Chains A and B, each alone.
Chain A
Amino acid sequence: MPPLKRLVVLASLLAAPLAGAGAQSSGVVYGTVRDSTTGRPVPQAQIILVGTNLETLADTSGRYRLAGVPAGQVRVLARHIGYRASLRTLDVAAGESANLDLSLRPSPLDVEPVIVTAAKRSQLLDQAVTSVALVSDSDIARRAVSTVDEAVNKAPGVLFLNGQVNIRGSSGFVEGLGSRVLLLVDGVPANEGDRGGIDWDIVPLEQVDRVEVVKGAGSSLYGSAALGGVVNLITHDIPIGFHGRVRATAGGYANPPEQLWSFRDYTGGLGGLDVTGSYGTEALRGSVTLGGRHSDGYREQDKSDQWETAGKAEWHPAPDTRVTASGSWTSHQYEVGPPWCERGHCDDHGLAFQPFLIDTANHGAFTRSDKGYVAATLERTPSARFSWHARGSWLRTHFTDLHPGPDDFGVANRFGAELRGEVHAPGGGVVTVGAEGSYSDVTSNIFTGDTTATSDTIRSHDQSEFAAYGEGEHQAGPVRLTAGARMDFIALDGGSVSSVLSPRIGAVLPTRAGTWRASLGGGFRAPSLAELFVSTIAFGYRVIPNPDLQRETAWSFELGNSTALGSRVHLDAALFWTEARRLIEPVFTLQAGNPVIQFQNVARARLRGLDMSLVAIPFPWNLTTSLSYTFLDARDVATDSVLAFRPKHLATLSADYGWHSLSVGADFRVVSRIEQIELAGPYAGDPRVATKVVDLRAGWERGPVSARLLVNNVLNYIYSLTPGTLEPVRTVSVTFAWKY
């Protein structure tokens, strides 16, 4: 069947749950949400009209207003983190308003948060067909992290390898190129247009309200790069009135634990300041964040300076319409340190390697990386049954690598647009359909596609993508069934168009033994412009382009269960299995008898395992404990060997205790030794060890003021995850925050 015809058939299948949907007269529901024990209002409580796409947030006084409510009997759900959700039923007359005050009972376990990423629409976490890990704003504040990647790195099943994110071992490590995880900022794709990697500093952490990590293939809704999962950074809603936040951090790095590794005669420091101001009315709201940070680094040649700004504006011209504009710009200048010095390439003191020193040949290497985005979104909810959403975005990255020899640079753009509609049928069915397009280009002297390595050649390349997608959800008895697909059309440098279909089916079944979920989905990743056209020198070898690279593909299956064991323990566990083909990896090869490096479709991989998280509040006092664990069996099926950069075990044990305005907590993270690496030649005898890191934290909070002490890697455990790259040593920091 031709691709277009398949799309038409799919669309007709998706439309099936809509039978019977039609316009109705409407009314208004309003009221106040309060804490049932204290009577205080609950700001930012989420109010949802069940079975529709109508929802709103309570204001700072706990008040809410839902317009366009269909006349008749309706169900209203109120929820907030730290409270048990409340569901109420009431009758609404056409053209009338109905008051409904809601009270929420505090609950130690927040088991039903609302997510927006797994299905490209709001849904309860336990209604998602795939696993989703959440990092809430309270998690971010409690851990006192300063950057987005530090926050994401704490999510269960997530591991960063020298800045490259892995979800269940999805990406491995390829020097930041070709991420198999898609980054979204408020739903806007934000992977780099040239390298396909992720700039985690594109948004200040101060802007981020929460993070959703969707695990498994997400291409049926998000297309390329969502092969191994999706990370969505959701920025703060702007409250009504004047508000401000100031956050200041200062700290220092421990010195090397061995005198033989000593590399400087002072203690390295770090510091940062972020200031956010916002003002909002019912109709107009805006916020601006300015920030900067400096780090001396914990290794030789590791200093960095970063300046960042971000803004967001909202306009509510009508109760059913919202226009949002947002953007950010970050300028990051950092010295380039790794890989560390191997014997003989520095003042090595006779050691095989010096983890805190770098090769003297790399002295002076420096990178300037500027990046930013602007996005505009129009959301309309013409009726309780139908809403639509349109957005446009522009992402720009510009890097310059200054090092001994000719400098490298790349300027890349990624323009995107999307139109999406969401329809709720009276019987509980939901259909989401949309179309998305993007255009990426790069101008560079290393992504040229040139067959001769010369920094004097500057060329441009581009890639266009257009996609249509749809997903329908149908309630069949107790089971929620989901089916959908996305068709992507991709053209490189204006050439011929290739297409790829990414389907997904799933089901959610609530039972007495918890909520079961199962899904099977196809995913793909188109090679990045960098992988296709790179032409440079690495490790003293020519890296040659490969314009014939094919897209990677994968099928992912997952069976999961989420269950509450009593009122104080919550368990979520999932078995996963991914079969991947044509993975793109850098390999050494011979070209005309000469050794060169080239990206090639090589591996046929199988990644399977268990992913679980357990949250428990074992005592009647304020102690919260959690354990997350991922077992990964990742094999290169073609060579019957362990897949590179995929540790078998990843576990994090956490405990937090709160007493009045004080809190203390600890994390213990274990990553088993990475068994296999790529391009092993330059790293002969790479001394890898397992990761065993303990982080401690303490906090004090009173009203709008808080102070937090964070000691990362308190035992000063010296380790690396990628060859020749020392992971952070013990780092002590103090963060003061003030909110108005």
Chain B
Amino acid sequence: MPSRMWRLALATAATAACNEGLQPTPTCPSGFVGICGLVTFQVPLPDSLRDSTDAVFIVAYKNFPTAPESLFNFLPLPPPTVPTNNSTYPYSLQLPNGRYQWVLAVWKKKGTLTTQSADSLLREVGFYKDDGDTTTHGSGIVTVNGTARDSIDFVIDFGNMHRICTYFPPCPP
């Protein structure tokens, strides 16, 4: 093997190795496809809920759920969680391209989630709203088209939690 080739290979290796690896990333990573935004906590998680809280999730629905059976048609699967010890939190949802009718935060109580237990374990605690939205529930429509949709910000309010049956009435006593 000619020595020049080996010198060239070593020089190439040294040059390539100087490329940078992971860097501090303040917001949505580049090349990210989905929704990014900031959630703001209207009030902190009440101490009375702290022990029973499993997690707070952010999810998106392509179609607004119309029955308890469609409750689990959310994306992404599994959804990311939101820490409850911050006053604001920058979230991101990795989603396939499409039109999303409902982006919301869900508080989940500890326990095994089933269709039957959903109403007792889940609470809607806030969702993205668009000022120009005219849909029944007032939710903002977000379209993902191969890039990051930033600034999908909304408020989480633990003082205004809604049961699932609010959207599929009537609510059991």
Contacts and interface: CB of A to CB of B under 8 A. Distances in A.
A588 B79 CA distance: 12
A269 to B, nearest CB: 23
Contacts of B72: 590, 593-595
Interface stretch (A344-352, A422-430, A462-470): A344-352
B168 to A, nearest CB: 14
Interface string B54-80: 110000000000000100100011111
A653 B10 contact: yes
A685 interface: yes
A619 B25 CA distance: 46
Interface stretch (B112-120, B123-131, B151-159): B112-120
B146 interface: no
Interface stretch (B42-50, B88-96, B99-107, B135-143): B88-96
A668 B13 contact: yes
Contact of A588 (B3, B9, B78, B82): B78
A403 interface: no
Contacts of A565: 1
Contacts of A692: 16-17, 19, 21
A608 B48 CA distance: 57
A351 B1 CA distance: 48
B29 interface: yes
Nearest to B88: A344
A19 interface: no
A715 B77 contact: no
B90 to A, nearest CB: 6
A682 B57 CA distance: 11
Contact of A343 (B6, B13, B89, B93): B89
Contact of B25 (A352, A539, A717): A352
Contacts of B29: 352, 685, 687
A694 B14 CA distance: 8
B86 to A, nearest CB: 6
B17 A668 contact: yes
Interface string A348-377: 001111010000000000000000000000
Interface residues of A, number: 54
A720 B80 CA distance: 20
B160 interface: no
A682 B78 contact: yes
B21 A689 contact: yes
Interface string B1-44: 11100100110011011111111111111001010000000000
Contacts of B82: 344
Contacts of A689: 21-22
B89 A594 contact: no
A593 B93 CA distance: 22
B17 A720 contact: no
A719 interface: yes
Nearest to B31: A685
Contact of B3 (A342, A345, A540, A619): A619
Interface in A581-627: 588, 590, 592-595, 614, 616, 618-619, 625, 627
A451 to B, nearest CB: 11
Given A344-B83, A594-B115, A684-B92, A715 B22 contact: no
Interface string A664-679: 0000101000000001
B90 A718 contact: no
B147 interface: no
Contacts of A568: 1
Contacts of B77: 588, 595, 681
Contacts of A740: none
Nearest to A691: B21
A258 B20 CA distance: 12
A352 B26 contact: yes
Nearest to A617: B1
B102 to A, nearest CB: 17
B22 A355 contact: yes
A273 interface: no
Given A569-B1, A616-B6, A680 B76 contact: yes
A578 to B, nearest CB: 29
Nearest to B75: A681
Contacts of A668: 13-14, 16-17
Interface in A556-578: 565, 568-569
Given A627-B9, A694-B17, A539 B22 contact: no
A662 interface: no
A541 B55 CA distance: 12
Given A595-B72, A655-B10, A717 B21 contact: yes
A202 interface: no
A569 B81 CA distance: 56
A551 B21 CA distance: 39
Given A590-B72, A653-B10, A350 B26 contact: yes
Residue from A261, A540, A541, A693 with most neighbouring chain B CB atoms (10 Å): A540
Nearest to A652: B13
B19 A594 contact: no
A350 B27 CA distance: 8
A260 interface: yes
B28 A352 contact: yes
A593 B9 contact: no
A84 interface: no
A542 B76 CA distance: 17
Interface in A689-719: 689-690, 692-694, 715, 717-719
A593 to B, nearest CB: 4
A153 to B, nearest CB: 18
A618 B27 CA distance: 49
A684 B78 contact: no
B25 A684 contact: no
List 8 A-B pairs, minimum CB-CB distance, nearest first.
A684-B94, A668-B13, A352-B25, A344-B83, A718-B21, A718-B22, A681-B78, A719-B21
Given A668-B13, A694-B14, 12 more contacts: A343-B92, A594-B113, A595-B78, A618-B2, A682-B78, A684-B32, A684-B76, A685-B28, A687-B22, A687-B25, A694-B17, A715-B18
5 contacts: A260-B24, A351-B25, A352-B29, A540-B78, A692-B21
Interface of B: 1-3, 6, 9-10, 13-14, 16-29, 32, 34, 54-55, 69, 72, 76-83, 86, 89-94, 112-115
